Chains A and B, each alone.
Chain A
């Protein structure tokens, strides 16, 4: 299996521009998570999906952020308009719920976003 695939790996954009991050989870996994990591705040859960359905988006910072999962093999995280404080590494992770609720995540390599 190729693992969780994210694109782009690096993105540099100017404030106000739209940013779209993409994720292909591991085939057969039923959970997909979007995280953001910064030095100041660590790893923050933004939103997660179960069987393509958004379950909890309470971690999404504000209305500028949106996420979709149109099918089991693809998800997007969109920021519009982007701001410098959105600069971070965005990780996508997927998992298959195990026994007794064990939820072991496999992460993608991350998308490093810089907003100027």
Chain B
């Protein structure tokens, strides 16, 4: 089983739609969790951290379910500019804080 798994998509949604991505991780000792965004031919950039209590940043909501070992990202009122690949990142566990990246989920928002 891969350490961090994501549905590669693509998710093809109209503007204004709500879309959700899930990510599962295998190391139950993992300590911290993030979502990164990567635009085409660009580097990954931090989108948001994921806290145990869940957190929101504008149209974006991230949640963590430790019992089921998954994290989620919800995007409301999708914009054309949200089109990108969203990477799930899990920081180690068992003394390792090295981030492991998922393969990413591709989102295409169309007019």
B17 within 8 A of A: no
Tell which of B57-65, B73-81, B91-99 binds the partner. B91-99
Name the distance in Å between A19's Cβ and chain B's nearest Cβ.
Answer: 19
Instruction: Name the residue in A35, A42, A97 with the highest tally of chain B Cβ atoms < 10 Å from its Cβ.
Output: A42
Residues of A within 8 A of B100 (CB): 45
* Residue in contact with B87 in the complex, picked from A43, A104, A106, CB distance below 8 Å: A43
* Residue in contact with A104 in the complex, picked from B43, B46, B92, B98, CB distance below 8 Å: B46
**Number of B positions contacting A (CB below 8 A):** 20
Residues of B within 8 A of A100 (CB): 31-32
Question: Is A43 within 8 A of B49, CB to CB?
Answer: no
Residues of B within 8 A of A91 (CB): 43-44
B34 within 8 A of A: yes
* Residue in contact with B31 in the complex, picked from A42, A101, A110, CB distance below 8 Å: A101
Chain B residue nearest in CB terms to A97: B97
Question: Is A103 within 8 A of B43, CB to CB?
Answer: no
**CB-defined interface of B92-111 with A at 8 Å, one 1/0 digit per residue?**
10000111111110000000
Main DSSP-derived SS at the B contact region: strand
A109 within 8 A of B: yes
B42 within 8 A of A: yes
Residues of A within 8 A of B66 (CB): none
* Residue in contact with B103 in the complex, picked from A42, A56, A101, CB distance below 8 Å: A42
Known contacts A91-B43, A109-B42, A103 near B101 by CB under 8 Å: no
Interface residues of A (CB under 8 A from B): 35, 42-43, 45, 48, 56, 91, 97, 100-110
Interface residues of B (CB under 8 A from A): 31-32, 34, 42-46, 49, 87, 91-92, 97-104
